[in-house]
């Protein structure tokens, strides 16, 4: 079975008043299907916005119309996923952390190299960082029609003094594996001094990007990053930054306009005897401090 992602459908208020939204949906889906053969079997991911421009009630109608239009237009055997993107509220904090335990904590390249935790297991320090970040109220999640979490993007506010003070917090941990990871991240940020070079006092920090394995390949991660830029602008941030530890997050950030400020190859992270501290598996070969300036 092939997989295809439909472009997000945006219906301004004036269009909703003037046209039948179901008809618009049929036009969109038929236009998209012109390049496909009747024998194709595809899964369509319908990304719909629930902003003021497109109320949730219209979104449900659109999804129904898209499904019906595909069947009538080509007779395809299809299924579809409805993804809604929204801010993470306090009532979903525990669900988000559980999602991260089942996915990100075990998959993240540095965590994996350090043997920090196994899939499905929590980690006290990582969970604490997640809850602290969530309290900044800047994080997003993608949920399907059953309100299951498909992906999350945890974002926080960071100031220059936070990077300086982070060193002390890291050394308070009694987990040496955790220290190996966060010493690397902290030391790289201290050396880079992105705040000094760009003359800013705070940044919107993209911290954790995670997609459930069942929903990967649908463009969810890229869409989460795209939407978080809107949030950053709404809150008056001039700088977005991220410590991108793996090649996949680096590619996603780059596709959303992020640039590399500095980078560090993992094989250069060694102890006093020249032995690598973290044996990070390929294709993840370097840490990149990435950034995007906002107007």
Supply the pLDDT for residue 71.
53
Domain identity same for 62 and 196: no
Q: pLDDT, tens digit, for every residue of 60-78?
A: 555 555 555 555 544 444 4
Domain identity same for 139 and 228: yes
- Can you point out the beta strands (E) in 94-202? 140-143, 149-158
- CATH value at residue 151: 3.40.630.30
What is the C-alpha separation between 125 and 161, in angstroms, rounded? 20
Domain identity same for 281 and 142: yes
What is the C-alpha separation between 265 and 180, in angstroms, rounded? 15
CA distances, 291 to each of 112, 213, 235, 254 (Å):
25, 27, 17, 9
Domain identity same for 8 and 125: no
Whether the Cβ atoms of residue 142 and residue 151 lie closer than 8 Å to each other:
yes
Cβ within 8 Å of residue 291, ≥6 positions away: 194, 198, 203, 239, 240, 241, 242, 258, 259, 261
H or E element in which residue 191 lies: helix 176-192
Domain identity same for 75 and 94: no
Domain count, the chain: 2
Domain extent, residue 116, equals 88-293
Domain identity same for 206 and 178: yes
Q: pLDDT, tens digit, for every residue of 246-283?
A: 999 999 999 999 999 999 999 999 999 999 999 999 99
Domain identity same for 154 and 25: no
Domain identity same for 92 and 59: no
Domain identity same for 74 and 98: no
Domain identity same for 215 and 262: yes
Domain boundary among 61, 82, 103: 82
Domain boundary among 82, 104, 123: 82
Whether the Cβ atoms of residue 237 and residue 198 lie closer than 8 Å to each other:
no
Domain identity same for 140 and 185: yes
Domain boundary among 62, 82, 102: 82
Domain identity same for 193 and 244: yes
Whether the Cβ atoms of residue 81 and residue 215 lie closer than 8 Å to each other:
yes
If one counts every other C-beta atom within 10 angstroms of the C-beta of residue 70, the result is 23
How do the pLDDT tens digits run along the chain, 295 residues long? 334 444 444 433 433 333 344 444 444 444 444 444 333 333 444 444 433 344 344 455 555 555 555 555 444 444 456 789 999 999 999 999 999 999 999 999 999 999 999 999 999 999 999 999 999 999 999 999 889 999 999 999 999 999 999 999 999 999 999 999 999 999 999 999 999 999 999 999 999 999 999 999 889 999 999 999 999 999 999 999 999 999 999 999 999 999 999 999 999 999 999 999 999 999 999 999 999 999 8
H or E element in which residue 4 lies: strand 2-5
Q: Among 225, 212, 222, 85, which Cα is nearest to 141's?
A: 85
């Amino acid at each position: 079975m092939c997989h295809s992602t439909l472009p997000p459908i945006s219906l301004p208020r004036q269009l909703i008043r003037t046209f039948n939204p179901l008809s618009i949906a049929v036009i969109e889906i038929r236009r998209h299907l012109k390049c496909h053969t009747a024998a194709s079997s595809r899964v369509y991911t319908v990304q719909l916005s629930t902003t003021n421009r497109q109320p949730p009630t219209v979104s449900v109608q659109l999804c129904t119309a898209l499904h019906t239009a595909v069947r009538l237009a080509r007779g395809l055997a299809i299924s579809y996923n409805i993804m809604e993107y929204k801010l993470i509220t306090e009532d979903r904090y525990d669900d988000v952390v559980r999602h991260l335990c089942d996915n990100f904590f075990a998959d993240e390249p540095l965590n994996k190299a350090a043997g920090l935790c196994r899939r499905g297991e929590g980690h006290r320090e990582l969970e604490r960082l997640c809850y602290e970040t969530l309290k900044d109220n800047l994080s997003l999640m993608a949920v399907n029609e059953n309100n299951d979490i498909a992906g999350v993007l945890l974002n926080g506010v960071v100031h220059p003094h936070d990077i300086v003070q982070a060193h002390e917090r890291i050394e308070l941990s009694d987990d040496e594996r955790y220290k190996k990871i966060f010493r690397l991240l902290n030391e790289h940020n201290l050396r880079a001094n992105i705040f000094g070079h760009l003359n800013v006092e705070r940044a919107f920090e993209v911290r954790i990007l995670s997609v459930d394995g069942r929903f990967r390949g649908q463009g969810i991660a890229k869409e989460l990053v795209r939407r978080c830029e809107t949030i950053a602008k709404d809150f008056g941030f001039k700088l977005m930054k991220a410590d991108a530890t793996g090649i996949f997050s680096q590619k996603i950030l780059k596709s959303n306009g992020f640039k590399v400020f500095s980078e560090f190859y993992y094989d250069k992270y060694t102890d006093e005897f020249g032995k690598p501290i973290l044996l990070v598996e390929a294709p993840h070969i370097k840490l990149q401090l990435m950034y995007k300036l906002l107007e």
